[in-house]
Amino acid sequence: MTMTGNGTHGHVPVLRERVAELLRPAVVDAGDDAVIIDGTLGAGGHSEYLLTVFPGVRVIGLDRDPLALEQATDRLKPFGDRFRGLHTRFDRFVSAVDSDDSEPCSVVRRHGVAGALFDLGVSSMQLDQAERGFAYSKDAPLDMRMDPTSGITAADILNTYGHGELAHVLKTYGDERFAGKIASAVLREREKAPFTTSGRLVELLYATIPAAARRTGGHPAKRTFQALRVEVNGELDSVAAVVPAITHELRVGGRAVFMAYQSLEDRIVKKALTELTTSRSPKGLPMDLPGTAPEFRLVTRGAEKAPRHEIEDNPRAAPVRVRAVERIAQSNGETR
């Protein structure tokens, strides 16, 4: 996720200095073998900054959006073969890296990952492209796919899900108080004509959500649009899958940074990192039993937030929660 500013390509990445600070010890420790995986490449702002502040590092950028990948790769051409972009969902990066013959991927196969960043959620670039249907402020096709070449759309969900399925999505992924009422309204309206554009859905939400509730909590469409986007892209499944995937690939001394913008994502990351950094020995023992000591340690204390000045420059940075973990040991038998 990026913030609007005066930087190159009109975007300055959220917390770019803090991200670099968190990754620096891992990059220094890895030396000439340092490779960072930018799991959410987007416009390429974080990758550009990391390639600039760490002159010897290589970066592998991942994105499921082919247009974003193309544009970011073009932006990062000045860095030559120090950057490699791969079209893949971030939790499937292992197979993508293993099948690529570029130098950064070869280094990862030999030495493991030194650093990783996952800036979760929809990017500003996608929000700014009205035709993608992510933003409720503009009438557009109800698509919301981060990879527009595959998968179901938001319109498919609205036009085919049963009442219970739709209400569950709205309640679970959007924390929508009126999930059942909205689902009933959607089913009634789609009998007249299928949903195709965001404008019609926004009108339905204004008509369905009580006026008193609309006056608080931001735009009345915010929660529904978030829920649909998460369902369309399987975002929470991807987050749950990527934490064990990336931590398994970290070299000793390697670090992974996760930036979450909604509580559902942050809870998944927090739970996974807690499990990774907790001893498996029975409580009360003076020391860890052999093979039970944690292989990772938390780098951040709880979830870090964006500083006030960054939030003032861009309100999109307000909900960010940052957590980082470092690998401190390696299991016997692991090759990298």
Angle between helices 163-174 and 222-233 (to 10 degrees): 100
Residue 103, pLDDT above cutoff 70: yes
Residue-averaged pLDDT of the chain: 89
pLDDT at 150: 84
Please write the tens of the pLDDT for every residue from 204-248.
999 999 988 777 767 888 899 999 999 999 999 999 999 999 999
Question: What fold is seen in the domain 130-233?
Answer: DNA polymerase; domain 1 (1.10.150)
Mean pLDDT computed over 15-36: 97
Angle between helices 235-249 and 222-233 (to 10 degrees): 50
Output the known binding site: 44-46, 63, 90, 119, 126
The answer to whether the CB of 126 falls within 8 A of the CB of 69 is no
Please write the tens of the pLDDT for every residue from 125-157.
555 555 555 677 788 899 999 888 888 999 999
Domain boundaries in the chain? Answer: 2-124+235-327, 130-233
Please write the tens of the pLDDT for every residue from 234-244.
999 999 999 99
What is the rounded distance in angstroms from the CA atom of residue 172 to the CA atom of residue 324?
Answer: 26
* More confidently predicted of 133 and 92: 92
Output the known binding site for S-adenosyl-L-methionine: 44-46, 63, 90, 119, 126
Question: What fold is seen in the domain 2-124+235-327?
Answer: Rossmann fold (3.40.50)
pLDDT at 124: 58
